Amino acid sequence: MDFKEYQNKAKKTAAYPNIGKNIIYPTLGLVGEAGEVANKVKKILRDDKGIITKEKREDIKKELGDVLWYISQMAGELKFSLEDIAKANIEKLSSRFKKDKIHGSGDNR
């Protein structure tokens, strides 16, 4: 599946208020799901001595899917395609890498 197909299919599963004019809902969902990913990793460190079992790996995969869904919805709310976002990100990272600015902080390195 490519980004375009995913984004189209994901949009069909969206059910929240004011779809197409509501960036707040997917923003809050993204933060919540990213927190769930982090919490699962935290518990692997705390409870499993950092060992990622097949089951835990699959649990994280599901949460990452939820993160992707919310990113897709945010992109749609902003009239971006996931493909355009991915392309712009690679261009930004490639530019930083060429300038040896991949490390550090700040958006415009």
User: Does residue 50 belong to any structural domain of this protein?
Assistant: yes
Number of H helices, E strands in the chain: 4, 0
Q: Determine whether 76 is exposed, middle or buried from the number of CB atoms within 10 Å of its CB (0-12, 13-18, 19+).
A: buried
State percent of the chain over pLDDT 70.
94
User: Does residue 109 belong to any structural domain of this protein?
Assistant: no
User: Does residue 52 belong to any structural domain of this protein?
Assistant: yes
**Residue 23: predicted pLDDT:** 97
Higher pLDDT, 79 or 93: 79
**CA separation for the pair 104, 13 (Å, rounded):** 38
- Look at residue 38 and tell me whether its pLDDT is greater than 70: yes
Tell me which residue range forms the domain holding 27.
3-80
User: Does residue 106 belong to any structural domain of this protein?
Assistant: no
User: Does residue 91 belong to any structural domain of this protein?
Assistant: no
User: Does residue 43 belong to any structural domain of this protein?
Assistant: yes
Please state the domain count of the chain. Answer: 1
User: Does residue 39 belong to any structural domain of this protein?
Assistant: yes
CATH at residue 55 = 1.10.287
For the segment 37-61, the average pLDDT, to the nearest whole number, is 98
For the segment 48-55, the average pLDDT, to the nearest whole number, is 97
Regarding pTM above 0.75, the answer is yes
User: Does residue 95 belong to any structural domain of this protein?
Assistant: no
**Residue 97: predicted pLDDT:** 85
Which amino acid does the sequence have at 107?
D
Higher pLDDT, 17 or 96: 17
